[in-house]
Structure 1
Amino acid sequence: MDLGIIGQAAGLFAVTNIDDILVLALFFAQGAGHPGSTRRIVLGQYLGFTAILAVAVAAAFGATFLPESAVPYLGLLPLLLGLKAAWQAWKDHRHGGAQPAEAQAEEGGPGPLGVAAVTFANGGDNIGVYVPVLATAGTGGIAVYAVVFLVLVAVWCLAGRYFATRPVIAKALARWGHVLLPLVLITIGLLILVEGGAFGL
């Protein structure tokens, strides 16, 4: 296996997904204390990134499932999830910061589909970067890129969880995570919409 391609794939993944570590840390902080939340977050991250990879590979082979003009509108996903999280944080604050036990048990931290939606929307613009690289890599090269990317998704999840469980960071996220998560999601959503020129912005 060509170490050069592995290095290029690792570099490309790191450069295009560096902001995901912050989002993952916030998700892991939100899921702290909820049994099974780590599994759901990792599953969601894999679902979202696999969808990005599938669209990029298909486009590299000439199939376009996602028109370029549609990419900016992916910003609506994190924007809506961020507004929902902000609404939930406001409701919790009104009730003294504590949710009823049944609500906590029902929510159990971030769900896989919510994480997948944020991952896909946040990485939607990466598709445009991946397509020309994959198109010139050949079938064998695409396989290497796919394997390296999927391995690094696990590394990113470990990094996000690591940061979320460091005592100083965990304390800060426990205190401010309910504010930071909606703020980050709303910001990501607005940036995707504005930079892509959605709705004539």
Structure 2
Amino acid sequence: MNPGIIGQAAGLFTVTNIDDILILSLFFAQGAGRPGSARRIVLGQYLGFAGILAVAVAAAYGATFLPEPALPYLGLLPLALGVKAARQAWSGRNGEDEDGDRAGDGGPGALEVAAVTFANGGDNIGVYVPVFATAGVGAMSGYVVVFLALVAVWCGAGRFFATRPLVARALSRWGHVLLPLVLIALGLLILIEGGAFGL
């Protein structure tokens, strides 16, 4: 693989995904001490990012699964998850859903993480499409491989920050408040920046 492509892909991934480290840290803090939680978070991050890449690659070849005017409405996903998390934190149910069932064995579920990752990546799609469209098949494959490798690095960084004693104490104390706030703010930001609902 061309070293120039590796560097370009790493830079593009870093610039477009820097905000994911905070969200991943909050997810890892929420799942701390719960068996299987880290695996679900990593799986969800990969599912969500694979969805972003699939849409970007398809769009680079001319397919449009998501028309551009629909992208801002992806903000409804983290907004809804943030409202749900806020209700759970407010009622003190500690992860119980409306039916009183726990998602898996505690902590965030893979589909929840995937939904937030995909929604947060709506703007990434807009950046990746022109790059992929002009890169050619070989270079685009290089971008995809580097991106998928860096998802693992991002998950490791999120977990690292969530387990630092000072950060872990803060997230343990305030994470139940921060996660809903971050998800709601992210949802609103996506909606407003994209001009959804005429905002």
Q: Same fold (TM over 0.5)?
A: yes
Alpha-carbon offset, residue 40 of structure 1? 0.1
Amino acid aligned to 1:174: S
Q: Following the alignment from structure 2 to structure 1, what is the Cα–Cα distance between the partners of residues 32 and 95?
A: 15
Amino acid aligned to 1:28: F
Q: Does the alignment pair 1:172 with 2:180? A: no
Alpha-carbon offset, residue 107 of structure 1? 5.0
Match in the other structure for 2:24 = 24
- How do 1:14-163 residues align onto structure 2 when only pairs under 5 Å count? 14-92=14-92, 106=104, 108-163=106-161
Q: Following the alignment from structure 1 to structure 2, what is the Cα–Cα distance between the partners of residues 130 and 170?
A: 34
Structure 2: stretches of 5+ with no match in the other structure: none
Q: Deviations along 1:29-69, whole A, 9 cap, x unmatched?
A: 00001100000000000000000000000000111111000
Identity score, percent: 77
Structure 1 length-normalised TM: 0.94
TM-align CA RMSD: 1.6
**Is the CA contact (8 Å cut-off) linking 2:72 and 2:193 kept in structure 1?**
yes
Partner of 2:62: helix, strand, or coil?
A: coil
Deviates more, 1:107-116 or 1:15-24: 107-116
Aligned pairs, number: 196
Structure 2 length-normalised TM: 0.95
Q: Following the alignment from structure 1 to structure 2, what is the Cα–Cα distance between the partners of residues 106 and 136?
A: 43
Q: Following the alignment from structure 2 to structure 1, what is the Cα–Cα distance between the partners of residues 173 and 74?
A: 30
Q: Following the alignment from structure 1 to structure 2, what is the Cα–Cα distance between the partners of residues 126 and 38?
A: 24
**Is the CA contact (8 Å cut-off) linking 2:95 and 2:102 kept in structure 1?**
no
Partner of 1:34: helix, strand, or coil?
A: coil
Q: Following the alignment from structure 2 to structure 1, what is the Cα–Cα distance between the partners of residues 6 and 104?
A: 42
**Is the CA contact (8 Å cut-off) linking 2:95 and 2:107 kept in structure 1?**
no
Alpha-carbon offset, residue 125 of structure 1? 1.0
Judging changes above 3 Å, is the alpha-carbon distance between structure 1 residues 105 and 150 closer, same or farther for their aligned structure 2 residues?
closer
Q: Following the alignment from structure 1 to structure 2, what is the Cα–Cα distance between the partners of residues 129 and 29?
A: 30
Partner of 1:137: helix, strand, or coil?
A: helix
Match in the other structure for 1:4 = 4
Structure 1: stretches of 5+ with no match in the other structure: none
Q: Following the alignment from structure 2 to structure 1, what is the Cα–Cα distance between the partners of residues 71 and 42?
A: 24
Q: Which runs of 4+ in 1 moved over 3 A?
A: 102-107
Amino acid aligned to 1:151: A
Q: Following the alignment from structure 2 to structure 1, what is the Cα–Cα distance between the partners of residues 105 and 123?
A: 30
